[in-house]
């Protein structure tokens, strides 16, 4: 099996040796990415912080026994974070009642232009209402900037299936936010 080149290999090795500078570098490099992933998958700031913290804790435990060449550390960390997110999403569904969604789409404000923050919040809310797999595909490809092959492997689907999820997700967003497209373009 061909060895996989990993830009994090040296950093992971030094983290595994307990090098304080490497630990700080790893936090600077990975924590914002894992927080963003969790935030967009869960749509909740506090839960996203918990997930990102737990994912990084698992990274610390994994680093001393990490075997280079088998997988990219970043991909592994995405897998860990996604699993933690899906655990929470599953728990939410199990306790879901008739309560209304956390952040209902209030629609546009016709009497005033939307501020950039309003646009951002509405996009975030629309993302949160997408089916989980469509949201995951968009978050991995668009926000986390993984390649289609990496994202498909993480999601355990073919590239064709990934493209279908992406297209359907983007179409749903376009329809949900049709009233504010000009605002977003100007934001």
Partner 1 sequence: MTAERFIALVSAYGADARRWPESERTAAQAYMAAEPRAARAALAEADAVDALLRASPTPQVSPALRDRVIASAAEAGLKARKHGRLWLDRLVLVLGAGWAAAACAGVAAGVIMTGHLTADAQADAVLYQASLQGVDDTEVLG
Give the H/E segment covering residue 164.
helix 159-176
According to CB under 8 A, which one of 7, 10, 45, 102 is a site residue for partner 1?
45
- What does the DSSP assignment read for 26-71? HHHHHHHHHHHHHHHHH--HHHHHHHHHHHHHHHHHHGGG--TTSS
The contact mask relative to partner 1 for 61-90 (x = CB under 8 A, - = no) is x-xx--------------------------
User: Could you say which residues in the range 142-181 bind partner 1, by CB under 8 A?
Assistant: 142-143, 145, 147-149, 159, 162-164, 166-167, 170-171, 173-174, 177, 180-181
* Cα distance between residue 72 and residue 90, in whole Å: 27
What is the SS3 assignment for 19?
coil
- Mark the segment that binds partner 1 (CB under 8 A) among 59-67, 68-76, 79-87, 94-102: 59-67
Angle between helices 73-94 and 45-62 (to 10 degrees): 140
156 Ramachandran zone, left/alpha/beta (phi>0; psi -120 to 50): left
- Mark the segment that binds partner 1 (CB under 8 A) among 5-13, 31-39, 83-91, 97-105: 31-39
Query: Is residue 15 a contact point for partner 1 (CB under 8 A)?
Result: yes
* Cα distance between residue 18 and residue 12, in whole Å: 10
Binding site for partner 1 (CB under 8 A): 15-20, 23-24, 27, 31-32, 35-36, 39-40, 45, 48-49, 52-53, 56-57, 60-61, 63-64, 116-117, 119-120, 123-124, 126-127, 138, 141-143, 145, 147-149, 159, 162-164, 166-167, 170-171, 173-174, 177, 180-181, 184-185, 187
């Amino acid at each position: 099996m061909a060895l996989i080149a990993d830009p994090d290999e040296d950093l992971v090795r030094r983290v595994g040796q307990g090098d304080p500078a490497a630990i700080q570098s790893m936090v600077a490099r990975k924590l914002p990415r894992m927080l963003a992933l969790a935030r967009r998958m869960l749509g909740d700031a506090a839960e996203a912080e918990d997930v990102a913290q737990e994912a990084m804790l698992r990274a610390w435990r994994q680093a001393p026994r990490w075997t280079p060449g088998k997988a990219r550390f970043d991909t592994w960390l995405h897998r860990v974070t996604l699993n933690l997110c899906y655990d929470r999403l599953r728990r939410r569904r199990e306790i879901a009642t008739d309560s209304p969604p956390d952040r209902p789409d209030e629609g546009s404000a016709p009497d005033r232009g939307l501020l950039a923050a309003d646009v951002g919040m509405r996009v975030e809310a629309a993302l949160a209402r997408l089916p989980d797999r469509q949201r995951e595909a968009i978050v991995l490809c668009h926000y986390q900037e993984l390649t289609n092959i990496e994202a498909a492997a993480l999601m355990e689907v073919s590239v064709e299936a990934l493209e279908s999820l992406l297209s359907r997700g983007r179409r749903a967003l376009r329809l949900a936010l049709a009233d504010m497209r000009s605002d977003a373009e100007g934001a």
